[in-house]
Amino acid sequence: MPEFLNNLLQRLRGERGHNMELLCRELLSQRGEASQTVLAQHILEQYNRMSGDQQLKFFQMLAERFGADQQAIQTAIENYTRGPTPANEAALAAAAEAPRQELVRRINTGPAGTETLVRMRRDLQRLLPGHSDLAVVDYDLKHLFRSWFNRGFLRLERINWQTPAITLEKLIEYESVHEINGWPDLHRRLEADRRCFAFFHPSLPGEPVIFIEVALTRGLARAIDPLLDINAPVLAADEADTAIFYSINNCLEGLRGIPFGSFLIKQVVDELRAELPRLRVYSTLSPLPGFARAVNASDNSEGFTRERLARLLKEFTTELSAEAGVADPVEAFFELLKEPLAHLEVLTPALRRLAIAYVTHMKRNGRPVDPVANFHFSNGARLEAIDLFANTRPYGIRESFGVMVNYRYVPDDLADNHERFVQTGDIQVSGGLLTERRITGELWHGSRSKKPVREKSAVK
């Protein structure tokens, strides 16, 4: 740090002490311009030392004291009301913008400003549930972050064994879909038949914003265990015909609600096409995180009501009852679910039917309730396959009775699929799933559905 700034900072520490409101006002004042960086640094340092309580008070202060000037808003409203011209509209917007935004912009000029502000929003979000008055602060931070973390400012970079350890370490920390168990596990995920890509922002060097893990395989991978097996033989990359996206992770809580995932997948598909022209299929192997919860919470009228379960499982009554020693197929089914791995064979067709129903028919506001399904359909992917007992690790059984899903990205169909999905909620499925979807749909809707099944599979 420049020496003279250092001097100023020393003085500041004495003078204005820890009064954050005073410091923030100072930074926003015209006088603050001359020493913006050093004031920003001081505020950042103060913030970094705060306890949770102090953070709460700090955010409340920001919410209450750094809003817009009510008098100025009043005047702008009057002008606008008299003449709703573009200029008066802009003036109204300016008057209503909380000075908090300019304050945050100035704080950002301090050392590690962006990093700290992102962490600040993370802290803020943890407080939000109980403190709706802080929502306005979150609104301002998110508003700025959407500008700063605009896709145009992100760089895609490949992560491999050449990457600095300090960045690799973060993958281990941030991977939350399929935990990375130390460095040898990580190393396997960066071998010749794996790819890993991340978006980086120039102001957060070495810090991935989001990353995706890809396995290169022969044929569609329909179970996660072989992909995570640290001792699995390494396939030569140019022998692969399929790229499996098996994990995608947002790294920074403080950027929640700023969308990157869709961009990332599409750009990675393209990187892979350029590098490995033999690849034919791009598909995820995804969890179905809400499935078990949905099945268990069977009283939800949008969801697996008792009636629906009865209809969906009826076909498998004989096998379920015999295995469980319980007459009612639904009760038998729940009995068997207590130890699903012990009843693999019997459960398979039943779980398959429910999973198809869950992914393709269980919706809220016209969208799939499963967040992962909703994400990929919204990107224009199609439902390619349902994989039974594909994740038999404890969390896999717990979340979805081991079921996983392949969502396939057919590059040329993405835009159309996306468009149809956001307009009509229509979901694309592979040819092999058409009939099952229709049958499941009829059972779900309780009769020959009145709603015509308009959806068609993507042809490819």
36 contacts its own copies (rule: CB under 8 A): yes
At residue 95, what is the residue type? A
404-433 residues near its own copies, rule: CB under 8 A: 411-412, 414-415, 418-419, 422-423
Q: How many CB atoms lie within 10 A of CB 453?
A: 13
Subset of 6-25 contacting its own copies (CB under 8 A): 7-8
User: Which 288-307 positions form the footprint of its own copies (CB under 8 A)?
Assistant: none
Q: CB-wise, 116 or 400, nearer to its own copies?
A: 116
Instruction: From 248, 220, 232, select the one nearest 193 (Cα to Cα).
Output: 232
Q: Build a one-symbol-per-residue string for 125-154: x at contacts with its own copies by CB under 8 A, - elsewhere.
A: --------x-xx--xx---x-xxx-xxxx-
Distance CA 443, CA 357 (A): 9
43 binds its own copies (CB under 8 A): no
Stretch that binds its own copies, among 212-220, 262-270, 304-312, 444-452 (CB under 8 A): 262-270
Cα–Cα nearest to 39, from 61, 68, 55, 16: 16
Shortest distance (Å) from residue 35 CB to its own copies: 5
Ranges within 83-102 binding its own copies (CB under 8 A):
84, 86-87, 89-90, 92-94, 96-98
Q: Does 59 interact with its own copies (rule: CB under 8 A)?
A: no
Q: Which stretch binds its own copies (CB under 8 A): 77-85, 241-249, 391-399, 433-441?
A: 77-85
Q: Which of residues 179-218 bind its own copies (CB under 8 A)?
A: 182-183, 187, 202-203, 206
Query: Residues 2, 52, 257, 432: which binds its own copies (CB under 8 A)?
Result: 2
Task: Tell me how far, at minimum, the Cβ of 133 lies from its own copies, in Å.
Answer: 7
Q: Strand, coil or helix: what is 247?
A: strand
Q: Does 374 bind its own copies (CB under 8 A)?
A: no
- Choice between 172 and 344, CB closer to its own copies: 172
CA 303 to chain CA mean position, Å = 23
Work out the number of other CB atoms within 10 angstroms of the CB of residue 173: 10
Pair of tokens at residue 350: 């039943």
Q: Of 253, 291, 318, which is closest to residue 400 (Cα–Cα)?
A: 291
Please give the structure tokens belonging to residue 284.
């995820």
Between 258 and 337, CB nearer to its own copies: 258
The reply to whether 53 sits near its own copies by the rule CB under 8 A is no
254-263 burial string, b = 16+ CB within 10 Å, else e? Answer: bbeebebbbe
248 membership: H or E segment, kind and range: strand 242-250
223, 263 contact by CB (below 8 A)? no
Q: Which is nearer to its own copies, 68 or 326 (CB)?
A: 68
